[in-house]
Amino acid sequence: MRGHLTTRDVQSDMFWNTAMETISAADLEALQIKRLKWTLHQTQNVALYRSKLKEAGVAPGDIKTLEDAAKLPFTTKKELQAGYPFGLLAVPLRQIVRIHTTSGTTGKPTVVGYTRGDLESWSELIARNLVMVGLSDEDVFQNAVNYGLFTGGLGFHYGAEKVGMTVVPSATGNTQRQIEMIEDFGVTAIHCTPSYAMHLAEVAESTGAELATLKTGIFGAEPWSESMRSELEGRLGVTAFDSYGLSEMYGPGVAFECPERDGLHIWHDSYLVEIIDPATGEVLGPGERGELVITPLVKEAMPLLRYRTGDITMLMEEDCPCGRGRKIARITGRSDDMLVIRGINVFPSQIEHVLLGLPEVGEQFMVYIDRVKHLDEMTIEVEMSRAGFSGELQDLARIQKHVAGALHNALGLRTTVKLVEPGSLPRFEGKARRIVDRRGAL
Amino acid sequence: MEKSYIIKQISIFSENRPGRLAAVAGALKEAGINIFAFSIAEADGFGVVRALVDRPEDAHRRLTDLGFRVSFTDVIGVKMRDEPGGLSEIAGVLGDAAINIEYAYAYSGRDAAVLILRVDQVEDAIRKILGSGGELLKASTFH
């Protein structure tokens, strides 16, 4: 099963594994089917999947094409939690060489086991990502994330070593010392969370550290916006790349931006990707936003079937000039936040995205949903921005119309837009509660 | 010379809910700023408070510091003859010159009623009104 993932080709710049990264559509499909069948076989070592398949009336032998994957049942985070600690492992513990866990913020953590082959595959994917953004054995790489059970530390560490980079396992904390390391070791690339990068920039600015050698920033584990990207790039002097992953799929490295920085390449030889309507489970086509569902194709210790990531994205329609496979859009939210308004799926992040593009209003908002005469009505309050006010009432009405029009375009839904005074909407620290759904209260 | 008749009105964005005018007026009172005239224009859930004050720059700064969205708007003040036909005359002069009145409000000045006008071509309007024998207030009357 392994082998093909682990060898580095003699290749051009910016590719770690040219053959796999630029595989033809026909070859990829054949490979995915072969690996899907292998994965199905592997899941039969796990009681949960045996009973799930039985319940769905599907036998592993029924899956002959990629389209057949839609017959397979979804796996949810709840099911993984219920299997705590080792109920989801498909191999005996003696073949498990490492475990990581998820943070467990929503109940019991999920334990993820890795065979030696899994660690090899994971490092391979990280190596592809790092080389894709232009890094090589010439680079000094500071890995400023947690090195414990969190997958970000060790995952990137081994991938970067595989590339031959000089790895500085700085982990987290002591920002002053982190800055010294960057300057003293001539660090060229850093991996951390976007919020920590922001903190690092602030401390560096306050101490006058120039971080002159730093050129690449890899940011992940938290959602971050395009405006944060330009701020981080300006303040740290880096080109910033988005990194996506989840512990259930090894950890970071599942999908990554290439230098185009327009969507993330997801490694189709290792992950079978579907986008579904989170409400109905129906599979959606390219360009349609929904929940990312992944069936890993090379995971040995903990295979998964159609795992519902809860992350909202879409398959992008255009090919990437870099020559790698189909991209997914940057993650724009969680399916748990999704609203269904008059039958249309709406994500608060879509609203945020629209407002960010309109200078005449601020980016804070509140959404109220009411049922008026059996119809859902959505009212969005937005703040006037400093730039937006000319003093004329008709200009305000124009702004209101413009915002409603932009929202209509993005959501496919008519909304009522209310302009409110700057600073009057609630600010949230941590998880925002911007949605007030009053449809239930009769 | 037309410029001396252009009066700086402050326009304040306000939500249409109780207490907002009180907040504006209170802020100006605390700063010792006198309001000569004001009006409120209302649309769907929000409005614009328009005011002529003695120290518009101070008022602008004060209200902006409090988080209000404030801007200056050029208006003119026409002294009205307090007798039938006063408004008709002014409106006729502007209408003939194809100058549009965007909005207007009136207040009672020391010696005459004053009509505050927001027009689309302010300098033309000043010339036409003066040319037809009308009387305009100089900006220096206010500030």
Asked whether residue B1 is assigned to any structural domain, the reply reads: no
Q: Is B134 on the interface with A (CB under 8 A)?
A: no
- Burial class from Cβ neighbours inside 10 Å (0-12, 13-18, 19+) for residue A176 reads exposed
Q: Which residues of B touch A396 (CB under 8 A)?
A: 13, 43, 46, 48
Asked whether residue B131 is assigned to any structural domain, the reply reads: yes
- DSSP state at residue A415: -
The helix or strand, by DSSP H or E, that contains position A345, with its residue range, turns out to be: strand A344-346
Asked whether residue B2 is assigned to any structural domain, the reply reads: no
**CATH number of the domain bearing residue B127:** 3.30.2130.10
With a cut of 90, say whether residue B98 has pLDDT above it. yes
Q: What is the pLDDT of residues A331-382, one digit of tens each?
A: 988 888 888 888 888 888 888 888 888 988 988 899 999 988 888 999 999 9
Q: Which of A185, A134, A141, A179 has the alpha carbon at shortest distance from A159?
A: A141
B22 and B79 both lie in a single domain: no
Asked whether residue B24 is assigned to any structural domain, the reply reads: yes
With a cut of 70, say whether residue A307 has pLDDT above it. yes
Beta pairing, strands A239-246 & A251-257: antiparallel
B79 and B65 both lie in a single domain: no
Q: Which residues of A touch B20 (CB under 8 A)?
A: 421
Q: Which residue of B has its CA nearest to A393?
A: B48
Q: Which amino acid is at A119?
A: L
Rounded mean pLDDT of B105-124?
87
The Cα of B73 is separated from the nearest Cα of chain A by a number of Å equal to 7
The Cα of B134 is separated from the nearest Cα of chain A by a number of Å equal to 26
Domain boundary residue, one of B51, B73, B95 = B73
Q: Which residues of B touch A421 (CB under 8 A)?
A: 13-15, 20, 67-69
Domains and CATH numbers, chain A: 18-335 (3.40.50.12780), 339-437 (3.30.300.30)
Q: Which residue of A has its CA nearest to B16?
A: A420
Cβ separation B14–A421 shorter than 8 A: yes
Q: Which amino acid is at A178?
A: Q
What is the tally of structural domains in chain B?
2
Beta bridge partners of B106: B115
B54 and B13 both lie in a single domain: yes
CA angle A420, A424, A426 (to 5 degrees): 120
The helix or strand, by DSSP H or E, that contains position A290, with its residue range, turns out to be: strand A290-296
Cβ separation A421–B71 shorter than 8 A: no
Cβ separation A397–B44 shorter than 8 A: yes
Asked whether residue B95 is assigned to any structural domain, the reply reads: yes
If pLDDT is split at 50, 70 and 90, which confidence band does A104 have?
low
Nearest to B67 among A392, A400, A421 (CB): A421
On the CB side of B54, CA atoms within 13 Å amount to 7
- For residue A36, count other CB atoms closer than 10 A to its CB: 22
With a cut of 90, say whether residue A26 has pLDDT above it. yes
The Cα of A387 is separated from the nearest Cα of chain B by a number of Å equal to 9
Q: What is the pLDDT of residues B70-80, one digit of tens each?
A: 999 999 999 88
Q: Which domain holds residue B100?
A: 75-141
Domain boundary residue, one of B58, B73, B88 = B73
pLDDT at A106: 59
Mutate to test the interface with B, among A421, A424, A427 (most CBs of B within 10 A): A421
The Cα of A16 is separated from the nearest Cα of chain B by a number of Å equal to 54
The helix or strand, by DSSP H or E, that contains position A370, with its residue range, turns out to be: strand A361-372
Rounded mean pLDDT of B14-37?
91
B92 and B39 both lie in a single domain: no
| Residue A120, token pair as written in the block | 């090899």
**ipTM of this complex prediction, to 2 decimal places:** 0.76
pLDDT at A1: 44
Rounded mean pLDDT of A145-149?
92
Number of H helices, E strands in chain A: 11, 20
Nearest to A386 among B11, B15, B69 (CB): B69
Q: Which of A62-76, A287-301, B31-45 has the lowest mean pLDDT?
A: B31-45
B84 and B68 both lie in a single domain: no
Domain boundary residue, one of B36, B58, B73 = B73
Query: Which stretches of A13-92 are DSSP H helices?
Result: 18-21, 25-43, 47-56, 77-82
- DSSP state at residue A13: T
Asked whether residue B16 is assigned to any structural domain, the reply reads: yes
Q: Which residue of A has its CA nearest to B11?
A: A391
SS3 category, A429: coil
With a cut of 80, say whether residue A418 has pLDDT above it. yes
Across the A/B interface, how many CB contacts are shorter than 8 Å? 57
If pLDDT is split at 50, 70 and 90, which confidence band does B20 have?
confident
The 3-state secondary structure of A81-115, one letter per residue: HHCCCCCCCCCCHHHEEEEEECCCCCCCCCEEEEE
Q: Which residue of A has its CA nearest to B49?
A: A391
Cβ distance A190 to A144 under 8 Å? yes
Q: Which residues of A touch B50 (CB under 8 A)?
A: 391
